[in-house]
Every structure is written in structure tokens, then in C-alpha cells.
Structure 1
Amino acid sequence: MKTTTSFILRFAVAVFLAAVPSCFSADEQYEGCLAPLRCGPGPTLLPNVTYPFWGVNKPNYCGQTEFQLSCKNNQNLTLVLTNLSLQVISFDLENQTLTVADESLFEGRCPSISLNFTGTNQFTIAPTSKKIDLFICPAPEMVNPLSSFTCRKSNGDMVTYYTFKTSDSVTECVKLGEVPVLSSVLDDFQRSRLTLEEALVKGFDLRYNIRDGRSCRGCLDSGGVCGSESVSGSFHCLCYDRPHAFRCYDKGE
């Protein structure tokens, strides 16, 4: 009888001790969103990328729906907006901007012209970006372009785009539209230090708007990680113990 009682006691203690660590472990969502963003098996890529961005190894509750990132070829982060795939070059989370380039450029295809992000309320072209006018010229031998760029259109046809220092004086060509470039790059381009293609692949800046920005700041101040409810998408403050509505350790949340 004593042996049976002793066995039961030891079993009960073992079960209790096994359960204790889980009571004090960090919340799974909290830990998952603290993890650095990784693209492929290599070193950490852009370790400071946080809310509202998510994707790859970060679940959707780590960010907002519109800010999903994908990993291409285990090395490049991409952001898809209104059917436009953009390769992410760098982030500036403090100023809520990111530098991106049309992914078509890295595949020998023509860039999208006259980009319009009115379909999303979250992204706009930042003031740190300027625009370059693109022309096609029926008789290119009759003009003196600043630079030109030949690429493949979506239908497979090849086309050459031309740019000029003073677009208003170009009468032999037809303006197709404009493409954004970094302001810092535009000066080098106009001084012929860069070709049109070189200027375009350096990308342009997008400014993004975070919903619940004030709530996110309050969450961070309380020691939490900004996130969202995986189904509704509403803001959640992910905390060490569990998700809260706005701040960690708020009673009744």
C-alpha cells in the first residue's frame, strides 16, 4: 500500500513540475512577433522590421493585412500593391518610409509607368522621391536624349524609353508617362553620372500610414509588441502574459 501511495505522490509531483514552466513561459504570439524577420536559410535579413509588416516567418497577427512581405529566391523581400510587385531595398521605420524598386526591372522587363497608389490608403509616394518623364521616339536618330533604356513589355515586344533634360522641348517624341526615382539619385542622373536603368533600379521611397499608431506607441511603452487579432485584424497589444486590447497589464482586457 505504501509503495502504491508513494508512486502516486511521485507521479503527482512530476505532473505539477512539468506544468509549472508553461505557467511562466511567454505568450506564443508575443515571442513569435519578437523574432527577427528571416528570408531564407541565411543570416537575419533586416532584423529591425516590425509592425505593421509581417510575412515569411512572422504570422499575420504580427502586422496589418496590407503590409504582407514575401521572400523571393531566399534573398529578396517583396511587397505587392495593386498587382505591382516591389522589391524592398531598405526600411526607415522611424519616418515610416521604405525604399522599393519595381521588380520588373530585375527581370529584364519594363517598369510600370505613372504609378498610382490611390487603391490603397496605406501607401503614397514619399516627398523624397521625384519623377522622370519617359518618351518613345519614332525617329530616335533625330533626338539627343539624356539617357535611354530598352526593355521587354508584358506582350513580349521590346521597347526603348528615352529621357531628356528639358522634356518640354521634345517635339519628335511622345510622352508615355513618368516613373519615380529617389531625389538623391535624380541629381546624379541629370548630371549623366547614372544611366536611366541605373537610376530606376535604385528605387524610390514609399510613405506608409499605420492605423492605430497611437495605440501602438502605448503598447510599446507598456513593454508589449504591436500586433493584431488574426481574424478581425483589429489592433492587439501582444504581451508577455497574453494579448491585451491596448496596453500590457490593463485590467479587464
Structure 2
Amino acid sequence: MHPHLFPTITLFLIIVTITLIYCPTSLRADNGNYLTCEAPFNCSNLVNLNYPFWASNRPSYCGHPSFQLDCSSNVPRINITTMNYRVLEINNSSRTLKVARTDYLDTICPAALVNTTIDNNLFSYVTSDDTNLTLYYNCLTPLAALPSPVFIQFNCSINNTNFINYYIPSSQTLLTISSICNYWVNVPVLLSAVPTAITSDAVIAAIDSGFMLEWDANNSQCDTCLKAGGLCGSDPITTSTFACHCTNGTFTSGCSAESTTPQQLAKLELT
């Protein structure tokens, strides 16, 4: 090999190495995904929605696989760990949403007695806003025989059997009532919605008002994508991994230099 070829080969290897390190891996080399996901979408009574949400009128690669909305009713719904929730509000700035359990809509006698569950990898309660109401079901002893605070008694018919049930706002009787009731269900509500009137209607209204969740749908990767001028989404092939849709293609993270406008590049240099 001629000696003068060594500098050329070395320069080529340096360029390839820098390209692999600093240029995002391309998943698709056109802007079709960007154009499809660019415009926000509406779902029932919620408008101007975008990542991480998607629906039947929105390709799944525009959102996160776990954030599909059901827009078939007046209020959108989302399924979280096999439990359905009505989506009352979405705030993209704070990455929070307000949801309410669908099985408790206008009732405190659901078909199944199950505690509220969320996917802790994707969601967390907004502890400054949320608290739990505890409802006790299938109780064996009338509370009138116990030293009790103010409470409400309500009846539910499950499998054609009537049960006596209670809501007690005080936590002081938790151990006492837990020992005489077969089931108790924790239902999150807003702190500001905790009923001051101890009535069934007040409890139902508090539950129907919903509670707050904060989401993490690859937030740090999404921030990087947005900063580079892209749109957050998912891999159009597998739809299970994060992807950044840019004006010149879809990438695993960020955007390639060709898709960054001079204004965006100046912003990147300043930050």
C-alpha cells in the first residue's frame, strides 16, 4: 500500500466515527411520518392533542403505544393496566391528565370490587392534588353498634345479593371497620373534591370529578427530539420503541443535521 494513502484512510475513518457518534440512526429516510403527525388531533371533547396520545383517526406511530384513546363516546377513554378511565383533561405543558374510573360513573356500586391500579412505569399520582376515598363493602355488623363518626350506609346488589356498605370519611375507624367488612376499595379523588357533605351523591360527585396523573412517556428522549425540531412518536415498524419524526426522516433520537433549520441550530448553540 502506498504511504500517501494512510492520511486519506485515517481521515475517512475519523469522518465515519464522528458520523456514527453524532448523527442519529435513521429508521426511515423520508418526511412522511413528520407530515402525518405534524397536525394535532381532536378526540371527543378534547382538542389539539398530540404525543403521547393517539386514536383510531391517528397513526399509532404518532404516539406512545400505551396512550391510545377511545374517542367513541362523549368523553375520551384510556385503558391503564386493564382498567378503563374517562379522560377529563390533558395538559401537555405539565404532562398531566385528569381521569376518572368508568366503572364508578354515577354510582358507588360497581360490577366488580377492585382497587385502582396504574402503570407505575408510565404514570404517577400528583400527590399534592390527589387523595383516596375508601369504600367498604359487604359488611357483617351494623355500624350503629360501634362507636362511629358520621358515615353513610348504602346498599349494593351483587349477583342478586344485597350487601350493606359504608363510606366513612375518618381514618380513625379504619381498623375497626376493616375487621367487619369483607372488601374495601380505594378510589382516588382530588383533594379539593373530597365531599364535605356525607351523602352518597356527594361521594359519587367526588369520584366523578376525577384525579390527576403525571405521565412519563420517554420524556427525556422527547425533550431531545423537540429541541432538535422533531416530533415525538414511535418506531413505525415495531411501534414499541421511541422515535423522533423529523423533516427529513424518522430517527431513534434527535434529528440529523439536514433536518435542523438555521433558527433551530442557533437555538441549540445558545443552550
Q: After TM superposition, is the score higher than 0.5?
A: yes
Give matches, 1:56-205, under 5 Å. 56-73=56-73, 75-106=74-105, 108=107, 109-110=109-110, 113-117=114-118, 121-127=121-127, 128-136=129-137, 137=139, 138-139=141-142, 145-148=150-153, 150-151=155-156, 153=158, 155=159, 157=161, 159=163, 161-169=165-173, 171=176, 173-174=180-181, 176-186=184-194, 189-190=195-196, 192=198, 195-205=202-212
Q: Match of 1:84, as an amino acid?
A: M
Specify whether residues 160 and 242 from structure 1 end up closer, same or farther in structure 2 by C-alpha distance, changes over 3 A only: farther
**Aligned match of 1:231:** 237
What are the superposed Cα offsets for residues 7-39 of structure 1, whole Å, 9 maximum, x if unpaired?
xxxxxxxxxxxxxxxxxxx93322322233333
**Aligned match of 2:22:** none
Task: Decide whether the 8 Å contact of 1:27 with 1:241 is kept in 2.
Answer: yes
**SS at structure 1 position matched to 2:46:** coil
Task: Decide whether the 8 Å contact of 1:145 with 1:163 is kept in 2.
Answer: no
Q: For CA contacts below 8 A with separation 6 or more, give which structure has more relative contact order.
A: 2
TM normalised by structure 1 equals 0.71
Task: Decide whether the 8 Å contact of 2:106 with 2:208 is kept in 1.
Answer: no
**Aligned match of 2:227:** 221
Where do 5+ consecutive residues of structure 1 fail to align? 1-25
**SS at structure 2 position matched to 1:227:** strand
Q: State, as a whole percentage, how many aligned pairs show the same letter.
A: 26
| In structure 1, distance between residues paired with 2:162 and 2:150 | 18
| In structure 2, distance between residues paired with 1:156 and 1:61 | 46
Specify whether residues 237 and 131 from structure 1 end up closer, same or farther in structure 2 by C-alpha distance, changes over 3 A only: same
| In structure 1, distance between residues paired with 2:164 and 2:213 | 26
Q: CA RMSD in A?
A: 3.1
